[in-house]
Amino acid sequence: MKNLLKLEELVLFLASIYALYLHEVPWWTYLLLALGPDVGMIGYLINPKIGAYSYNLFHHKGIAVAIGLAGFLTGSTVIFLAGVVLFGHSSMDRVFGYGLKFEDEFKNTHLGRIG
């Protein structure tokens, strides 16, 4: 079952790349997809609880969909693509087993322990 879930996440990740391609975004947007949302890890410099909240803020698919939908409904391509980037990054992370974080430590996720 775990492999099936990873395959599903991979398809969602590829769909986000395709959405960026369809909107003819510049090449550097793909770097944002790969690295941008990880800025949420900065909270771990304060403590694991703040780190978990900040990380999850940038990796929660519901938030990504809300941002993308807000961009779509308002006609803002930039906001729509920000939602696509957040969604795609979250899917990419889940392919590698990185889930939403619990407050006790970085390696404890909703998908199980990392490593």
Domain range annotation of the chain? 2-113
Q: Side-chain half-sphere of 38: how many Cα atoms within 13 Å?
A: 11
CB–CB of 89/37 below 8 Å? yes
Share of the chain above pLDDT 70, in %: 98
Structure tokens at 72: 């779509």
Q: What are the pLDDT digits (tens) for 96-112?
A: 989 899 999 888 888 88
Check residue 1 and give its pLDDT: 61
Could you give phi then psi for residue 77, rounded to 5 degrees?
-65, -40
Look up residue 111 and give its DSSP letter. Answer: T
